[in-house]
């Protein structure tokens, strides 16, 4: 029986379902992380503009080689960045990398490391929430 | 009545086809070996090695042909005593050529010196390949230190071979000029004008089938033995399990450097100061840090006998954790144009993989180097 014409359509439909489910799951996970930071900071929502200022800003408290988030992530979070050791970093903007900020351990690990490296101190829950909100908004 | 006249000259075919083919093939392969050894970049090692295998096969053939070839190709026809050699030298000093039908006494000395030197270069080359590069038939049997010693001898003998080639050419052209003999042409055509009464009375006849078969059998047996020996695990490499935590965590910012590239003390220091890792905080949770530190301690350079482990073993005391600061690293890379390291595809010296395609395996084979064009 010639059932082949059906197959591509089925595969496409299955793909759409899986992708949608994946995106929904990622959004849920990110929302949960933001909720935690909202709770810790005692605020109802975060300002993307404050996150942008923090992400794009020039800082002096941290290590000399890394005065800004943009040192490695570049000024445009929608494109690939590069570590000082030459390795590519996937885009930070959620619109260009939907898996960003969906693993709470990974998010905490990199905020711990990079806030120390760039600012010379830990970030507050408010700052973390603002950065995630900024990078989710572009 | 005809006594005062010189004996009639005849054009005699002194060099048979196999001997001439051997001579020019060997000249070509030696030129190839010298080019790939001295001038070509490191990644031509594979070509260099195959040229060497070719030379070994040629020398096997020449020894066989020295036993069953045509008269003047046989070793017995050019084994001269000390007296003949001294006489030849005295003659040359007085401006007289030797006028031998086959090899002259000094010429035969040169033949033996050249072949012995080429053979010794091939043999030491196999030790370099096995001991230093962990490749080829001796990979499982030669350690780095013997390979490194062989590398010195290989280089010395190669310089000696260049000198011998110079003397060989000087001898050929000198004797051609002195004796008005077309020695180069005779090695091309095989023919040489000689006094008829000097040709050996009972010329040994070439045994082509025996020569071909003996050469084929010896070369085939050697190739099979070499191929079999090449299948053993190289002596410098040990089995190392993959630690997922190491791969995942340590390849986030840079390549997961092979643990053999630094000694234990350096790894211990790096793992104890992850919060300031080359100017960045790379801290990990305690359990992961301990797991990775134990892995690196087990598989640090002390555990390996590879070229990379040996040549990077000594670190820069001021920067014991920086592979690219070690005296060995600097010596190996000192001729690389600094622009290469700044190019788009490399960016930093610590990006080993950019040029060494097998960097993650710790092998760093010469053939696997590919410097990206910027």
Structure tokens that stand for A126 in this block: 């408010």
* Greatest mean pLDDT range, A9-13, A49-53, B3-7: A49-53
Higher pLDDT residue, B178 or B48?
B48
Q: What is the pLDDT of residues A43-78, one digit of tens each?
A: 999 999 999 999 999 999 998 889 999 999 999 999
pLDDT score, position A6: 65
State the Cα–Cα distance between residues B335 and B117, nearest whole angstrom.
30
Q: What is the pLDDT of residues B86-110, one digit of tens each?
A: 999 999 999 888 888 999 999 999 9
Average pLDDT, chain B: 95
Q: Determine whether the interchain pair B283/A87 forms a contact, defined as Cβ–Cβ distance below 8 Å.
A: no
A105: closest chain B residue by CA: B285
Q: Determine whether the interchain pair A85/B346 forms a contact, defined as Cβ–Cβ distance below 8 Å.
A: no
User: Is the Cβ of B279 closer than 8 Å to some Cβ of chain A?
Assistant: yes
Q: Which residues contact B174 (CB under 8 A, 6 or more apart)?
A: B92
Task: Kindly indicate the confidence band of residue B1, based on its pLDDT and cuts at 50, 70 and 90.
Answer: very low
- Is residue B352 pLDDT above 80, yes or no? yes
Q: What is the mean pLDDT of residues B23-33?
A: 98
Residues of B in contact with A113 (CB under 8 A): 280-283
Task: Kindly indicate the confidence band of residue B292, based on its pLDDT and cuts at 50, 70 and 90.
Answer: very high
Please name the residues between 195 and 254 in chain B that touch chain A, using a CB distance below 8 Å: 251-254
Q: What is the pLDDT of residues A106-132, one digit of tens each?
A: 999 999 999 999 999 999 999 999 999
pLDDT score, position B373: 86
* B195 DSSP β-pair partners: B9
Structure tokens that stand for A113 in this block: 């490391």
Average pLDDT, chain A: 91
Higher pLDDT residue, B98 or B319?
B319
User: Is the Cβ of B374 closer than 8 Å to some Cβ of chain A?
Assistant: no
Check if the beta carbon of residue B369 is closer than 8 Å to that of residue B356: yes
User: Is the Cβ of A87 closer than 8 Å to some Cβ of chain B?
Assistant: yes
Structure tokens that stand for B207 in this block: 């045994």
* B312 DSSP β-pair partners: none
Please report, for residues B233, B242, B298, B303, the alpha-carbon distance to residue B239 in angstroms, rounded to integers and kept in the order given.
10, 10, 11, 10
Domains of chain B plus CATH, in order, are 9-229 (1.20.950.20), 245-368 (no CATH)
In a mutagenesis test of the A interface, which of B248, B251, B252, B289 is the best target, namely the one with the most A β-carbons within 10 Å? B252
Tell me the shortest Cα–Cα distance from A99 to chain B, in angstroms: 16
CA-based angle B172:B177:B181, to the nearest 5?
A: 75
| Phi and psi at residue B288, to the nearest 5° | -65, -40
Residues of B in contact with A116 (CB under 8 A): 275, 281, 283
**ipTM of the prediction greater than 0.90, yes or no:** no
DSSP element (H, E) containing A130: helix A125-137
pLDDT score, position A5: 59
Q: What is the mean pLDDT of residues B264-272?
A: 98
Q: What is the mean pLDDT of residues B171-191?
A: 92
pLDDT score, position A11: 80
- From A85, A112, A116, residue closest to B348, measured CB to CB: A85
* CA-closest candidate to residue B8, choices B203, B185, B199, B201: B199
Q: What is the pLDDT of residues B147-160, one digit of tens each?
A: 999 999 999 999 99
- From A65, A86, A116, residue closest to B347, measured CB to CB: A86
- Rg of chain B over Cα atoms, rounded to whole angstroms, equals 29
pLDDT score, position B357: 97
Q: What is the pLDDT of residues B188-227, one digit of tens each?
A: 999 999 888 888 888 989 999 999 999 999 999 999 999 9
Q: What percent of chain B has pLDDT over 90?
A: 89
pLDDT score, position A25: 80
- Is residue B6 pLDDT above 70, yes or no? no
pLDDT score, position B119: 98
Q: Determine whether the interchain pair B354/A86 forms a contact, defined as Cβ–Cβ distance below 8 Å.
A: yes
């Amino acid at each position: 029986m010639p059932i082949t014409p059906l197959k591509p359509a089925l595969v496409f439909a299955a793909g759409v379902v899986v992708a949608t489910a994946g995106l929904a799951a990622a959004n849920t996970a990110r929302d949960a992380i933001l909720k935690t930071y909202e709770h810790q900071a005692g605020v109802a929502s975060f300002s993307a503009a404050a996150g942008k200022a923090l992400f794009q800003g020039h800082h002096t408290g941290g290590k000399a080689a890394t005065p800004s988030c943009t040192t490695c992530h570049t000024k445009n979070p929608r494109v690939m960045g590069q570590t000082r050791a030459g390795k590519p970093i996937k885009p930070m903007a959620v619109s260009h990398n939907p898996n960003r900020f969906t693993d709470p351990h990974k998010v905490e690990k990199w905020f711990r490391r990079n806030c120390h490296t760039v600012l010379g101190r830990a970030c507050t829950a408010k700052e973390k929430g603002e950065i995630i909100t900024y990078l989710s908004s572009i | 009545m005809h006594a005062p006249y010189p004996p009639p000259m005849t054009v005699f075919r002194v060099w048979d086809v196999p001997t001439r083919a051997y001579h020019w093939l060997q000249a070509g392969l030696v030129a190839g070996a010298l080019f790939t050894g001295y001038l070509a970049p490191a990644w031509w090692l594979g070509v260099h090695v195959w040229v060497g295998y070719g030379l070994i096969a040629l020398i096997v053939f020449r020894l066989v042909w020295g036993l069953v070839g045509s008269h003047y190709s046989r070793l017995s026809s050019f084994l001269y005593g000390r007296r003949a050699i001294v006489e030849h030298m005295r003659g040359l000093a007085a401006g007289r050529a030797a006028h031998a039908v086959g090899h002259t006494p000094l010429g035969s000395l040169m033949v033996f010196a050249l072949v012995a030197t080429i053979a010794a270069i091939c043999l030491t080359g196999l030790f370099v390949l096995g001991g230093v590069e962990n490749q080829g038939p001796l990979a499982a049997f030669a350690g780095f230190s013997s390979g490194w010693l062989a590398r010195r001898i290989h280089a010395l003998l190669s310089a000696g071979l260049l000198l011998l080639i110079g003397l060989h050419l000087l001898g050929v052209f000198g004797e051609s000029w002195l004796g008005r003999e077309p020695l180069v042409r005779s090695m091309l055509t095989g023919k040489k004008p000689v006094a008829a009464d000097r040709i050996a009375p009972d010329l040994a006849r070439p045994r082509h089938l025996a020569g071909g078969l003996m050469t084929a059998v010896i070369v085939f047996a050697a190739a099979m033995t070499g191929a079999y020996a090449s299948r053993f695990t190289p002596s410098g490499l040990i089995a190392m399990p993959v630690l997922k935590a190491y791969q995942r965590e340590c390849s986030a910012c840079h390549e997961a450097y092979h643990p053999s590239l630094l000694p234990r003390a350096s790894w211990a220091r790096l793992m104890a100061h992850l919060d300031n890792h080359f100017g960045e905080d790379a801290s990990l949770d305690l359990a992961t840090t301990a797991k990775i530190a134990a892995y690196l301690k087990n598989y640090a350079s002390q555990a390996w006998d590879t070229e990379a482990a040996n040549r990077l073993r000594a670190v820069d005391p001021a920067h014991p954790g920086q592979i690219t600061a070690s005296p060995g690293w600097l010596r190996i890379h000192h001729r690389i144009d600094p622009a290469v390291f700044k190019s788009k595809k490399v960016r930093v010296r610590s990006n080993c993989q950019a040029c060494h395609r097998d960097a993650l395996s710790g092998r760093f084979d010469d053939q696997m180097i590919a410097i990206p064009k910027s």
